[in-house]
Amino acid sequence: MSNTEQSSVVWSPGDEQLNNSQMARFKAWLEDQGKGPFADYHALHRWSIEDLEGFWQAVWDFCGLQCDTPAERVLGKREMPGAEWFPGMRLNFAANLLRHADGEHANREAVVAYCETRPVLRRSYAALKRDVGALEAFLRSKGIEAGDRVAGVVTNGYEAMVGMLAATSLGAIWSSASPDFGTGAIQDRFGQIEPAALIVVNGYGYGGKVFPRQSEFAELVSALPSLRCVISVQQLPDQPHLAGTRVTAWEDALAFGEGQAPSFTLMPPDHPVYILYSSGTTGKPKCIVHGNAGLLVNHAKELMLHGDVGPDDRFLYFTTCGWMMWNWQASALLTGAAVITVDGSPGYPDLNFLWQTVADEKVTHFGTSARFIAGCRKAELAPARDLDQSALRVVFSTGSPLLPEDYDWIYSVGAPRALLGSIAGGTDICGCFVGSTPLLPVRRGEIQCRFLGVDAVAYGDDGQPVSAGRGELVCRQPLPSMPVSFWNDADGQRYHDAYFDTYPGVWAHGDFIEFTEHGGAIIHGRSDATLNPGGVRIGTAEIYRQVETEEAVKDSLVVGRQIEGDVEVVLLVVPAQGYSLDDDLMARLRKRIRAGASPRHVPKHIVSVPDIPYTRSGKKVELAVARLINGSARSDNRDALANPQALDQIREVLIDARLLPSS
């Protein structure tokens, strides 16, 4: 594929985006204050990293964020790690997310919750605030106070929102996991943070089936001696609540505190609001602590400016409570938009379900995974032809690099009128380094831009920015949503080693990236999964772009096999239904990879496997397979995988293919 084909414009902003989007209004507002003038988005970005303090103060002011005591300055300390944001400020995170619960927006929908096991639930901002106050009062009655951890094993729905807001209103720290996690994986997370309260469902529905989990979650409760109270949510209406002396039904907890208002307890700017977790595929997950003011201002920038989400919008991001996109989605409340939550299978009752929900709910902003979009393309869906998309303005995609062919599908029959916002960042910053803006065109196969305030570049092996081509994604200046710490990391050494060990004072994110001449970006995969055949550095995403557009391929995974001082590229393929990995298909794949990438990318071995391992947030687990094929004795955390049996199946296949010894 030529560079022209890769970077051709597939969507351009119109007058509405260029003049009336919140990003456009922010740019004009800055110019009215004597900043700029800014010729274009790229000029605005340059200013945002040259005047870091001025930029983030401008975001705070323009987005109307609230604090009781203003900061002494924006940045107290600039060094990384250890940057100090908004010293002296006092604020409450939940108060900002519920700022539309009074006044003219109070009776507008705040949360519309879809799930497979219960009727659709609709709650206004005023009703949401009342329930938050009631639950907070119950938690306080059980002795929960500022700094305590409130954990949730919950589905992506209303109770999760209320639980998080009640916890952060009183100054507690919210941490959640999805109920489809194994109890071992949940204990690996919550056991480290010792929660004082647990909100837990009695089961969940997925793909038309129900999965009662009372007995497993009762064991989890017993394994968490720090708990002072447990609140049971009847996610499965035909199943009983969890049993136990410490257990209170959700409805009873709300009834106890009925009529009580949220306290919105004021906290320092770096007070923790969330604990998120790394994937945990190589051992116990890292507990990543995110702070009050920094997360708030970064999410305001990303959702309001880059996402153009406002009070008249309807926002649906398909996620689970075990993925940072849930936390990102929850912050859409600060915009005044209606948040449409969906729990269950994205393919039930059929693959059109999410698109149908977008049509039914008049969704303006729809977020999903690159994997889902690829699945729709392969299934030859045509939602733009078959469903009403008159309200849809933005489609977000994340989780893995989006293939150029998926841009083609979106702009033919997927959602051709929408801005396709491919966004990339991570749990580490609970946000994005690169992504979308309404002020620039969308180019095929490219992420539009670096986000404002993000000093991101690609570093070469010499620790210097590359003038062209690929390198390690780094951030050279602090971001407010970088973690305030890791939990139980008193001296900060684990935090330092995770991001600052490679390039002192510079955040190394772990992605292999290329910045284009247009100022866009292409993610080539995780840098720790980068292949080096013949000493040439290539990204796994470059091979996926060729392989996963072949109709005979359902899924694939690429790893490097170390042999005699070099690396062989090994391609694992899951054939699509009705196909097999025969000589003809292998020849087609090799030809396609050679033509579309380079001869260096062509795999030495192509092997058929029944399944590819994924994390529970939908990411391919390349490193576990790489360790397997290279004979590492290191044990992987199988509870962190959505389908751990896939590793066993791959092991057997590799033994049969003589790529792995039988013992």
Strands 507-515 and 470-475, sheet pairing: antiparallel
Q: Which domain holds residue 586?
A: 530-656
For 103-117, 204-218, 460-474, which range has the lowest pLDDT when averaged over its residues?
A: 460-474
Higher pLDDT, 310 or 463: 310
Task: Give the per-residue pLDDT at 634.
Answer: 53
Higher pLDDT, 415 or 601: 415
Mean pLDDT of 111-132: 98
Number of separate domains in the chain: 2
Residues with Cβ within 8 Å of 408's Cβ and at least 6 positions away in sequence, in order, are 10, 444
Q: Is residue 317 part of a domain?
A: no
For 138-152, 185-199, 490-504, 564-578, which range has the lowest pLDDT when averaged over its residues?
A: 564-578
Q: Is residue 403 part of a domain?
A: no
Q: Is residue 620 part of a domain?
A: yes
**Does 483 sit behind a cis peptide bond, omega within 30 degrees of 0 on the bond before it?**
no
Residue 625's nearest CA partner among 614, 616, 640, 617 is 614
Q: How high does pLDDT run on average in the chain? A: 93
What CATH number does residue 618 fall under? 3.30.300.30
Q: Is residue 328 part of a domain?
A: no
Task: Give the per-residue pLDDT at 229.
Answer: 97
Residue 190's nearest CA partner among 488, 615, 623 is 488
Residues with Cβ within 8 Å of 39's Cβ and at least 6 positions away in sequence, in order, are none
Residue 394's nearest CA partner among 352, 433, 451, 437 is 437
Higher pLDDT, 137 or 470: 137
Within its chain, how far is the Cα of 568 from the centroid? 32
Which of 50, 77, 104 lies at the terminal end of a domain, its last residue? 77
Integer CA distances (angstroms), 517 to 4, 221, 641, in order: 12, 54, 38
**If you count them, how many residues does the chain have?**
663
DSSP secondary structure, 538-563, as one string = B-HHHHHHHHTTSTTEEEEEEEEEEE
**Does 478 sit behind a cis peptide bond, omega within 30 degrees of 0 on the bond before it?**
no
Q: Is residue 511 part of a domain?
A: no
Higher pLDDT, 487 or 635: 487
Which of 59, 77, 95 lies at the terminal end of a domain, its last residue? 77
Higher pLDDT, 246 or 639: 246
Helix (H) or strand (E) run with residue 603 in it:
none
pLDDT band at 2 (very low <50, low <70, confident <90, very high): very low
| Cβ–Cβ < 8 Å for 162, 125 | no
Integer CA distances (angstroms), 486 to 278, 288, 390, 460, in order: 11, 5, 44, 28
Q: What's the helix, strand, coil split of the chain in %, to 5?
A: 35, 25, 40
At residue 132, φ and ψ (nearest 5 deg) are -65, -45
Mean pLDDT of 522-550: 80
Q: Is residue 628 part of a domain?
A: yes
Could you give the CA distance from residue 51 to residue 45 in angstroms, rounded to a whole number? 10
Could you give the CA distance from residue 296 to residue 65 in angstroms, rounded to a whole number? 8
Higher pLDDT, 371 or 361: 361
Strands 338-343 and 203-206, sheet pairing: unpaired
Residues with Cβ within 8 Å of 141's Cβ and at least 6 positions away in sequence, in order, are 256, 257
Q: Is residue 360 part of a domain?
A: no
Residues with Cβ within 8 Å of 325's Cβ and at least 6 positions away in sequence, in order, are 317, 319, 367, 398, 617
| pLDDT for residue 279 is more than 60 | yes
| pLDDT for residue 532 is more than 80 | no
| pLDDT for residue 4 is more than 50 | no
| pLDDT for residue 3 is more than 60 | no
3-state secondary structure of 567: strand
Q: Is residue 187 part of a domain?
A: no
Which of 25, 59, 77 lies at the terminal end of a domain, its last residue? 77
Task: Give the per-residue pLDDT at 636.
Answer: 62
| pLDDT for residue 342 is more than 70 | yes
